Structure 1
């Protein structure tokens, strides 16, 4: 009887491992180079001496389909190309394991849990507003990699789950990035390419920011309350078992106080985070500089808290092991774009997508631009990279089809932001999930309804912008 039932249990569909999914994408990208005509745009120097494209220069070139050797080297080359993100992911994993060994995180979570005990839901909108505003000003969605591991212990202690912590980080930063009212990475660069005044149209973008962020907060709070009321309704209930054992017991602890060494270490940690914020905002630091600071942070804070050099090294090693899969995923995902670039079909795809927008009915042209940007985001998840490839085409095209350039920029912002926390080719996003211990498949189950809600809001906002011929002057 049991033998007959066993096969039935195995018949249910199971989502393949993320490596399998990405490898299929790599194969499809490689095969496409045999069927999609090769083509290229001439490169020109764009704003701030960045390499952009000449939208009038597209021409087909000799077909260069991906060969066996190029396919074999795709993943190793992807790891090399994405080395900065890979390294950043490993270092963050190591840093937070060292901080856990100092005990600072546990005591801090205990105190915050007691502070928010009577109003636990309030912590979600507070954090999301802060994260969204920061991202809308400096444009670094990658800071989700820092936010998520920091707040996971707090969310678990407040009887939420890892998805709530990840959502607070990813959804807030994405809302800020999509609206980008002062974002130099997507809004500023795209407006420069489109010959628009820098940060013009801020009033409409602030309205978009309020709508998108407000919807995101409502969605996360709704899920968080459901999990708090019924923990087994969590999408990651079994995955979070170890975290619950680690952090939930703290509610029963009468007193947890910082030791003198931990207090000094916590103060130093705060000072170094202040240095991080200064570096990102003022000095333009990115992953490489932040990684270097995190190494220093782990060593200095660990020594002050009383850890030995060997304990600090062991902490880094344990953290590296915990996030190794996430780091590798980043490189595997990059291999998809490498196949398209080697086969010289990337420019052909964007050329044809731009042409498709030109044939859409006038009223829906702006929405068509949004859809094109969203689709292209799968191949080029970088905000600045996508702006440099697509905006030189979309800006002059908008003049021909009756869409203001300001609306074209907004369509780019929406399409760029929405896909960054859905497509597995987005490196920082996949790394954030792995740091939090959340699978891509379960995140998609959580995020997909909000994705469609945000898509609808984006479409309505673009239609309004189209109707009023918004120029943001």
Structure 2
């Protein structure tokens, strides 16, 4: 009697829950605090008033490993450290639900859908380009979160899925941010530390920006066409099935034609966002300053849209509740950094990687810097923070190795920027995945190939920059 062998099926592999993945990383980080010696650099203010590390000050300190209680307290501390962003996500969810309840967003999406009727895939490059300008010129990242729900609704209306809708907003901003055409938060800070003219070398960055957009557009348009032809090919097929009935019901209930109320709500929304962008550009507003503006948009927009105060309050809670998963993920992910900061191993990691770079031949040093920044982005996901930690170390090394400082800045901005699209410790990435209800494993499967193509493109540009002696101007 023969017994048939059971075939291995990749689809049957059960991927761990997002919280399980992140908590596992917290445990790994805690183990690292026992294995990696604790150390630190002294921080000083340079001539421009920027706090940076003193490259000659690294020293080892007494080991401070994370114990069991440290592991379990990492999440509460992570939530405390990111409370502003967590509440911001709740507010965006609540405000969007209020505006959506007025029917205004549905009408706007329908009008955009009719505009692109028969050529829906071209919505993707238009959105990518638009939001890339925000990333390239103002370093926008968290600021684009409010547009993710609109992108998702428009993508679904066009026959695509939530992954496409999320990407054509967030990947657009990421492309511009990474290319850093005039990004004050990575290129601006790094060039100041490197004593280069502000925004010098812009020509190559413009070409890089356009290259990222072309690659991103082709990748997303091909995926979108595949999903439209066969919805089962969607990476978030189960999510789309759950959301389809709700979307149809909402569309029928909210109508498709706008009136005076809808125009007033839309003007409130646009005016609020315009004021936020002005504040970000003029006064360098952060998430905290944006929150009251969004609250005002929700309340004023809801009243102009005909909602009662009680309805506004109840809809706000509905919207906030749907984002609980994503909001809490931010705190969980930050717990990884909390463990490493308490264990005082971050500076040791930076110091060790700088020693590796010194051992590389000069022809590979710039690419080595690029790879080092990709690695460090996991530990230091802040662009300006990473520049302050690494540029004082890498600029003298570049001078010794005969590498232009402009190439060094390019290696930094690309290593810091591109990987933010899949970096599990990135608060911004966790925020937009929470809004979209997309799990981290699903996003890796969807966006991972695009990020890899951008990373390879960045490496090519670094090599070209080195060959052309990419200088200050």
TM-score range, shorter chain: over 0.9
Using the TM superposition, name which of 241-250 and 341-350 deviates more.
241-250
Conserved in 2, the CA contact under 8 Å of 1:358 and 1:397?
A: yes
CA positional deviation for 1:159: 0.6
Check 1:319–1:49 CA distance in 2 against 1; reply closer, same or farther (3 A cut): farther
Map residues 269-418 of structure 1 onto 2, 5 A cutoff.
Answer: 269-418=269-418
Moved over 6 A (4+): 4-11, 249-253
Identify unmatched segments of 5+ residues in structure 1.
Answer: none
Residue in 2 aligned with 1:146? 146
SS in 2 for 1:238: helix
Q: CA RMSD in A?
A: 2.3
Using the TM superposition, name which of 282-291 and 6-15 deviates more.
6-15
SS in 2 for 1:311: helix
Kindly tell me the number of residue pairs found equivalent between the two proteins: 470
Check 1:193–1:306 CA distance in 2 against 1; reply closer, same or farther (3 A cut): same
Check 1:217–1:395 CA distance in 2 against 1; reply closer, same or farther (3 A cut): same
Cα deviations by residue, 1:285-331 (Å, 9 ceiling, x for unpaired): 12111111111110000011111111111111111111111111111
Residue in 2 aligned with 1:453? 453
Cα deviations by residue, 1:332-378 (Å, 9 ceiling, x for unpaired): 11111111111111100000101111111221111110000000001
Distance 2:256 2:464 in 1: 54
Check 1:273–1:338 CA distance in 2 against 1; reply closer, same or farther (3 A cut): same
Check 1:116–1:10 CA distance in 2 against 1; reply closer, same or farther (3 A cut): closer
Check 1:250–1:335 CA distance in 2 against 1; reply closer, same or farther (3 A cut): closer
Distance 1:8 1:408 in 2: 47
Conserved in 2, the CA contact under 8 Å of 1:106 and 1:247?
A: no
Identify unmatched segments of 5+ residues in structure 2.
Answer: none
CA positional deviation for 1:245: 2.8
Check 1:206–1:321 CA distance in 2 against 1; reply closer, same or farther (3 A cut): same
Residue in 2 aligned with 1:443? 443
SS in 1 for 2:95: helix
SS in 2 for 1:282: helix
Distance 1:465 1:260 in 2: 54
Conserved in 2, the CA contact under 8 Å of 1:188 and 1:198?
A: yes
Residue in 1 aligned with 2:168? 168
Residue in 1 aligned with 2:155? 155
Residue in 1 aligned with 2:212? 212
Distance 1:363 1:81 in 2: 41
SS in 2 for 1:52: strand
Cα deviations by residue, 1:370-425 (Å, 9 ceiling, x for unpaired): 00000000111111111111111111111122221111111111111121111211
SS in 1 for 2:198: coil
Residue in 2 aligned with 1:264? 264
SS in 1 for 2:413: helix
Q: How high is the TM-score relative to the length of structure 2? A: 0.95
CA positional deviation for 1:12: 3.2
SS in 2 for 1:381: coil
Distance 1:470 1:5 in 2: 60
CA positional deviation for 1:140: 1.6
Distance 1:236 1:440 in 2: 11
Q: How high is the TM-score relative to the length of structure 1? A: 0.95
Residue in 1 aligned with 2:239? 239
Residue in 1 aligned with 2:470? 470
Residue in 2 aligned with 1:52? 52
Distance 1:251 1:69 in 2: 49
SS in 1 for 2:44: strand
Using the TM superposition, name which of 187-196 and 103-112 deviates more.
103-112
Conserved in 2, the CA contact under 8 Å of 1:136 and 1:176?
A: yes
Distance 1:85 1:402 in 2: 42
SS in 2 for 1:49: coil
Residue in 2 aligned with 1:23? 23
Distance 2:165 2:49 in 1: 38
Conserved in 2, the CA contact under 8 Å of 1:40 and 1:61?
A: yes
CA positional deviation for 1:241: 2.1
CA positional deviation for 1:31: 1.2
Residue in 1 aligned with 2:427? 427
Distance 2:400 2:10 in 1: 55
Distance 1:460 1:72 in 2: 43
CA positional deviation for 1:6: 12
